[in-house]
């Protein structure tokens, strides 16, 4: 088990119970989505994984050892567990892109020429190398989010925790960020955990899904399992992916013989339509450019 939360509760000083007895765990290499409406406790939960918040009750285990909150243990944890904030303006504090990305590695005590190298590499990975000397206020939101990602990647974490990494981004920027994340998971074996309410993105991104509602963990499983239960999803003010909804209507209202397992992504939907048309495989298998279909 990489991370394990045991009966985690968190109450803020104003009395709000943001997390209520949450227990969950996940393994290294997973791509996890934490789904929930605004105010469901997603951010609070994420803040516990990086030691930003301490539980009011319950425990957090990282690699089967309970988290310790002294500064040395926290530094060790944060070296391995990177955190990307929702608003990049919170995270980008340095006057230039390069200085900001260098902040983490310098704190880890790496020598300057090595820092120079990791900074360049991280910026290249997120495609922001030519902006190294620019101050953050010259950048667009999408670019700022990439720089924030580079700042965490430069610390070479094993786990990447992200709070709404694609919120407020245009479709292209969303797709690029998602692609980058999937690439990191595949090539560098980085475990990804992101909080989101973008249900269309979840099936493309995640292999594991946790659903939070009002501070409680309502459900966990693969996106396929959880999105099959349309009633549950609706009862907590979320919705199915658009494409799934369309197939649900086609099945229920129009009586089309659609498979029990409704498609969640464009790719699934394509297969299902071709199956319905009596063609098991696309007649001229065009190699599609691997693109992520966002919302």
Partner 1 sequence: MSHVNLSAEIDRYAYTNALSKSSPTTKLLFSLALLLLSVMSPSPVVPTIVFLTSTILLVGFAKIPCRFYLNLLWYPLIIVAVSCIIIALFFGNQEPLTEINLLGFRWTIFRDGVTMGFNTFFRVAGAISTQFFLVLTTPMTNILLILRKARIPKVLIETSLLIYRYIFVFIEVMETMHTAQELRLGYSGWLKKIKSTSLLLGNLFIRTLEQGERTFTAMNARGYDGNIRVLEDLPKSSKTALAAIILLAAALTVVAYFTMNIGIV
Binding flag, residue 9, partner 1 (CB under 8 A):
no
Is residue 64 at the binding interface for partner 1, with CB under 8 A as the rule?
A: no
The sign of the CA dihedral 19, 20, 21, 23 is negative
Smaller CB separation from partner 1, 92 or 233: 92
Report the residue from 134, 216, 239, 251 that binds partner 1 according to the rule CB under 8 A.
Answer: 134
Give the binding range for partner 1 (CB under 8 A) out of 9-17, 81-89, 227-235, 251-259: 81-89
In the region spanning residues 23 to 52, those forming contacts with partner 1, defined by CB under 8 A, are 50, 52
For residue 61, give the H/E element and its range: strand 57-62
Q: For residue 152, state whether it binds partner 1 (rule: CB under 8 A).
A: yes
Direct distance between the N- and C-terminal alpha carbons of the chain, in angstroms, rounded to an integer: 32
Q: Which of 45, 115, 194, 264 binds partner 1 (CB under 8 A)?
A: 115
In the complex, what is the shortest distance from the CB of residue 78 to partner 1, in angstroms, rounded to a whole number?
A: 6
Decide if residue 168 touches partner 1 (CB under 8 A): no
Among 6, 20, 30, 87, binds partner 1 (CB under 8 A): 87
DSSP annotation of 155 reads T
How many residues lie near partner 1 (CB under 8 A)?
Answer: 40
| 247 binding partner 1? (CB under 8 A) | no
Nearest alpha carbon to residue 139 among 184, 100, 106, 192: 100
Q: Strand pairing partners for 35?
A: 196, 211
Considering beta carbons, is residue 67 or 155 the nearer one to partner 1? 155
98 counts as binding partner 1 under rule CB under 8 A: yes
Distances (CA, A) of 122 to 38, 101, 104, 110, 207: 31, 8, 12, 15, 25
Please, where are the H alpha helices in 42-94? 42-49, 71-80, 88-91
Provide the minimum distance between the beta carbon of 9 and partner 1 in the complex, in angstroms, as a whole number: 21
Q: What whole-number distance in Å separates Cα of residue 214 and Cα of residue 201?
A: 22
* Helices within 82-140 (DSSP H only): 88-91, 97-107, 112-125
User: For binding to partner 1 (CB under 8 A), which residues are involved?
Assistant: 50, 52, 71, 74-75, 78-79, 82-83, 85, 87, 89-96, 98-99, 102-104, 106-108, 112, 115-116, 119, 133-138, 151-152, 155
């Amino acid at each position: 088990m990489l991370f394990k939360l045991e009966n985690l509760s968190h109450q803020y000083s104003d009395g709000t119970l943001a997390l209520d007895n949450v227990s969950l765990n996940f393994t290294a290499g997973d791509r996890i989505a934490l789904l929930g409406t605004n105010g469901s406790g997603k951010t609070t939960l994420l803040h516990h994984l990086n030691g930003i918040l301490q539980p009011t009750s319950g425990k957090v285990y990282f690699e089967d050892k309970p988290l310790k909150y002294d500064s040395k243990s926290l530094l060790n944890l944060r070296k391995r567990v990177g955190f990307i904030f929702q608003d990049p303006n919170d995270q980008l504090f340095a006057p230039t892109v390069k200085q900001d990305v260098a902040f983490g590695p310098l704190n880890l005590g790496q020598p300057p020429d090595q820092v120079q190298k990791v900074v360049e590499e991280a910026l290249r990975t997120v495609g922001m190398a030519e902006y190294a000397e620019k101050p953050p206020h010259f950048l667009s939101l999408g670019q700022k989010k990439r720089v924030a990602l580079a700042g965490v990647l430069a610390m070479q974490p094993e786990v990447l925790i992200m709070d709404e990494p694609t919120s407020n981004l245009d479709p292209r920027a969303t797709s690029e960020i998602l692609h980058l994340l999937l690439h990191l998971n595949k090539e560098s074996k980085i475990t990804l955990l992101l909080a989101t309410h973008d249900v269309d993105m979840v099936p493309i991104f995640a292999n594991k899904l946790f659903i939070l509602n009002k501070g409680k963990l309502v459900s966990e499983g693969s996106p396929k399992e959880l999105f099959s239960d349309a009633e549950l999803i609706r009862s907590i003010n979320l919705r199915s992916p658009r494409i799934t909804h369309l197939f649900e209507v086609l099945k229920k209202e129009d009586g089309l013989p659609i498979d029990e397992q409704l498609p969640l992504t464009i790719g699934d939907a394509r297969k299902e339509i071709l199956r319905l048309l009596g063609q098991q495989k696309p007649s001229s298998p065009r190699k599609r450019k691997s693109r992520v279909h966002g919302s």
